[in-house]
A = this chain, B = another copy of it.
Amino acid sequence: MSVSKNHPLTDGTTENSRLVRAFQGQRPDVTPVWFMRQAGRSLPEYRRVRDGVGMIESCLRPDLAAEITLQPVRRHRVDAAVFFSDIVVPLRLAGVDVDIAPGVGPVLGAPVRMADDVARLEALELTEEALAPVREAVELAVAGLAADPGASGTGDTPLIGFGGAPFTLAAYLVEGRPSRDHLAARALMHADPELWARLLTWCASVTGAFLVTQVRAGASAVQLFDSWAGSLSLADYEASVAPFSALALEGVRALDVRVPVVHFGTGTGHLLEAMRDVGADVVGVDHRTPLDEASKLLGHRTPLQGNIDPALLFTPPATLEAHVHDVLRRGLAAPAHVVNLGHGVPPDADPDVLTAVVGTVHEARPEELS
C-alpha cells in the first residue's frame, strides 16, 4: 500500500496491521478479529451518546460518528474500526427522501417503481460538498485510531469503510422499506431489465462515491454489504446484480492507493464465488456455511472473514469458546482469516461476551487448533 496524495491519512501506519495483512492473504501470529455492527446498540456508551439523536443525524455529525466508530475499539480491543454509518446515508446525501425508523429500518418517502421515479434519481447528484460530513468523520476516526495504541499496542488499528451493494440499496428503494422477500425489487428486475439496469447503475455510482470518500479520508479497507443478495438465484445474481456491484467498486479500484475489498451477504452460500468475482479480495461468510467448505467453494485462494454464529453469543462461555475454536480451525483451510460474526452484533448481545471472544481469538495460536 503506497502513500498517495489522495490518501493523506493512510500514512503507512496500518500497512502492517494484522487486519490488512490478513486481508492481503497473510497469516499474522495473532488472528485479527472485529465485529460487524460492533459500533452500535449493544454498547451502553453508544446508547448514551445516541440519546435523543436520530440515526441519520448521528451518522452526519462528524464528531459523533467518529466517537461511535472508536467506542468498540477502546472497549473490545478489536483489530479494526468499522466506520459508523448506514448504507442509506449516501442516498440521503444525494437528496433521496429516506429516513431510518427506529425498530424498522430505512423507510422511503415514496418507493421507486416507475421510469419517472428512476429518472428523478438520475437527476440527483452526490457532490463532494454533500459528502463532507462523511469525509470529516472518517478523518476524525482515523486520527483517533492513530492516537490509540490499539490491540497491537502500536497504534496501527485500521478503519474499514463500508457501503451497501447496488442490489440491496435498490431493494430498499423499490420496496420503500425493509421486506422479507424483496418481491417488488425482483419483479422489476425481470419485468423491465433496462429500467433495472438504470436504477442499479445509479445506486452503484452513489455507493461508489461513498466508498471512495472513505478511502480518500483514510479508510484502509472497505466492505461492500449485499445484505439481501441471498434472496437471489445464482443466475439472477450473475445477470442482474453482479455487474453493478463490480461497477460500484470501480472507483475504489481506480484510486492510486490499493485497499482490500471485502464482500459480504447473508444466506449467500450459493453465491460466494460470484460475489468474489465482482472484484473482492476477501469474502465474508455467514454462519450457515462452515469456513472450510466456503474455502473449498472458492478454490482455497481467497481470504475469508467470519463466521461465528451470533446465536452462540447467548450460550455458556465454554460452548461459545468451543465454537470460536471450531471457527478458527475451519478458517485454517483458507489462505487467511479475519474473525467476525456471521452477521451483525445483535442489539441485546452482552458487550463483555464480545470482549471475551476477542480474547479467545487473540490467545488462540493456529498450531493449537489443528
User: Which A residues have a C-beta under 8 Å from some C-beta of B?
Assistant: 180-187, 189-191, 230-233, 235, 267, 269-270, 287-290, 309-316, 319, 323, 343, 346
- A310 neighbours in B (Cβ, 8 Å): 181, 183
- A314 neighbours in B (Cβ, 8 Å): 183-184, 187, 191
Query: Which of A190, A235, A314 has most B Cβ within 10 Å?
Result: A190
Nearest B residue to A187 via CB reads B314
Q: B269, A323: Cβ atoms under 8 Å?
A: no
Nearest B residue to A267 via CB reads B267
Q: How far in angstroms is the closest Cβ of chain B from A290?
A: 7
Q: Which listed residue (B231, B312, B316, B319) contacts A288, Cβ 8 A?
A: B231
- Given A323-B190, A343-B181, A346-B183, check contact A289 B270 (CB 8 Å): yes
Q: How far in angstroms is the closest Cβ of chain B from A42?
A: 13
- Given A184-B314, A346-B183, check contact A290 B235 (CB 8 Å): yes
Expressed in whole angstroms, the Cα–Cα distance for A327 and B329 within the complex equals 40
Q: B232, A319: Cβ atoms under 8 Å?
A: no
Q: Which listed residue (B181, B235, B316) contacts A191, Cβ 8 A?
A: B316
- A311 neighbours in B (Cβ, 8 Å): 181-187, 189-190
Query: Which of A270, A287, A288, A310 has most B Cβ within 10 Å?
Result: A288
Nearest B residue to A307 via CB reads B233
Question: 9 additional contacts, CB 8 Å, given A181-B311, A184-B314?
Answer: A183-B346, A185-B311, A187-B312, A187-B314, A190-B323, A191-B314, A191-B319, A232-B288, A235-B290
- A270 neighbours in B (Cβ, 8 Å): 269-270, 288-289
- A235 neighbours in B (Cβ, 8 Å): 290
Q: How far in angstroms is the closest Cβ of chain B from A326?
A: 10
Q: Which listed residue (B181, B288, B290, B315) contacts A190, Cβ 8 A?
A: B315
Q: How far in angstroms is the closest Cβ of chain B from A192?
A: 9
Q: Which listed residue (B182, B189, B269) contacts A269, Cβ 8 A?
A: B269
- A183 neighbours in B (Cβ, 8 Å): 310-311, 314, 346
Q: How far in angstroms is the closest Cβ of chain B from A270?
A: 5
- A269 neighbours in B (Cβ, 8 Å): 269-270
- Given A181-B310, A343-B181, check contact A288 B187 (CB 8 Å): no
